[in-house]
Structure 1
């Protein structure tokens, strides 16, 4: 066997994986990223890799070589089913571990205080979505933290882990409606940045609108608890409901 063949067949061993993870944690720590936040992010990437492998192998169940006969195809399907089942279980365990391994570990399905990594993930998710509908706004960055905190507290850690995907799906499903809202009430519109429509000038508006559509009662509850201006939420509710 030549060197090229050995390279292709060699699997990444556990020690090397642990080494890579430890190295990454050290590099992130030097950059000022809290170890708990870094471990959570790495855990989510690991859970996502397993979920991706599960989806890929689940798709291959339908592609057994037909020329090998029915028995072969049935065995192929059964084997793929066993593998995908185990991968799904591994992905679930990895996700639960990632979202409950922080300093304030709770059930993945119960509401809990919002962690710094969860807040940063939400910011990363909303900004490009917002910029696909509106221009950058100068609204006070502190508002972003307050509003996103209320939004994220409506969800469990497990739901927060998948929130970027939920936001993307929401923006895609309501693209035309969102375009109209930002054109009529957002940056560049005749509506001033200060007033009841202030949040339409903020990236957080995408997150608030998603919650208004998906979980309005919980959002109002957390909004009141955070003592955020009721007019802001009323303004977004009005803008979202006025389909024109």
Structure 2
């Protein structure tokens, strides 16, 4: 999953200086929002989401991602991380399930709230 997210993220942003350890930690939380039935085909689902939303993702990262005018890695580092693609896909596909997952993970809650706001309203 992480390799697919990295490949897509780099293709959209050109950025490769992300924190892989952090990606693994965040993905452990976010992937709880992917049902067992969806897990087998989830990489294809993520790729289809990225293809369908390439322009919107480009706007998001172009505004808040690496080197962008409103980039603030200390406030919302997720815009600089490949797992943010999975967060965006889950926000669109299963927003209530993601809400339940993140409320169980206190440290991840603030990060996901900030990034969710960018994806939903920040463009």
Q: TM-score, normalised by structure 1?
A: 0.46
> Residue 96 of structure 2: which of 212, 217, 237 is its match?
217
Quick check: 1:137–1:187 contact (8 Å CA) kept in 2? no
Preserved CA contact (<8 Å) 2:30 2:101: yes
Give structure 1 regions of 4+ aligned residues with deviation exceeding 6 angstroms. none
Structure-to-structure mapping, 1:14-29, within 5 angstroms: none
* CA distance, structure 1, for counterparts of residue 11 and residue 58 of structure 2: 9
Q: Which has the higher contact order (CA 8 A, sep 6+)?
A: 2
Q: CA deviation at 1:193?
A: 1.4
2:23 aligned with 1:144, yes or no? yes
Return the index of the structure with the highest Cα Rg: 1
Cα distance in 1 for residues equivalent to 2:86 and 2:43: 10
1:186 CA displacement: 0.4
In the alignment, structure 1 residue 205 sits paired with structure 2 residue 98: no
Give the CA RMSD over aligned residues. 1.6
TM-score (norm 2): 0.87
Give the counterpart of 2:74 among 194, 198, 217.
194
Contact 1:171–1:178 (8 Å) recurs in 2: yes
Gaps spanning 5+ residues in structure 2: where?
A: none
- Which structure 1 segments of 5+ residues have no match? 1-121
